[in-house]
Chain A
Amino acid sequence: QQQVKQSPQSLIVQKGGISIINCAYENTAFDYFPWYQQFPGKGPALLIAIRPDVSEKKEGRFTISFNKSAKQFSLHIMDSQPGDSATYFCAATNTGNQFYFGTGTSLTVIP
């Protein structure tokens, strides 16, 4: 059973556009939601993270929007650049320190 559902599987965006990746979860015990970015040949790297008591968090061009009642959260990449082309994973965890990952979104930003 997939604890965290992620969509879309792949995404193609024009340079300068907005990339949006969505995730949903069921377990209300989750209390920490990080996003990871992975380039080919590398391990995933933490991009940005949020706790459920905050509805939005912004770091540079990256924003997480969090809807606790809907149990959904999303990553927005503003002014997308070719260098943002990578695979993105959402994740969720609780105090047990077990992280559950979405299946990933392959983002391609076209120049």
Chain B
Amino acid sequence: KAGVTQTPRYLIKTRGQQVTLSCSPISGHRSVSWYQQTPGQGLQFLFEYFSETQRNKGNFPGRFSGRQFSNSRSEMNVSTLELGDSALYLCASNIAGGDSPLHFGNGTRLTVT
């Protein structure tokens, strides 16, 4: 079974621009979660989508948004990029419910200059 796929792997953007990151979950997984990882900050939860609905949301500004499609694929968008948005963005999927661990992709490394 294919794992979680994230594209692109690397992105370089300029302050003020916007960016869209893509995530394809494991087949059969209906929940997709997004995390921001920065050195020393660990994994900061952005949001979780289940059946095309945002079910949980972390404490990030409205510049961070996401959506999920009917095939469970998800996109994350960051508008008006700031230097502090430079991070590794991780997508994870799971079945949701019960003892269902998150399965992570290898992330998108975003650099804002």
Contacts and interface: CB of A to CB of B under 8 A. Distances in A.
Interface in A88-104: 89, 91, 95-104
A95 to B, nearest CB: 7
Nearest to B102: A99
Nearest to B56: A98
A5 to B, nearest CB: 11
Contacts of A32: 99, 101
B64 interface: no
Contacts of B50: 97
Interface in B86-104: 90, 92, 94, 96-97, 99-104
Interface of B: 4, 31, 33, 35, 40-43, 45, 48, 50, 55-56, 90, 92, 94, 96-97, 99-107
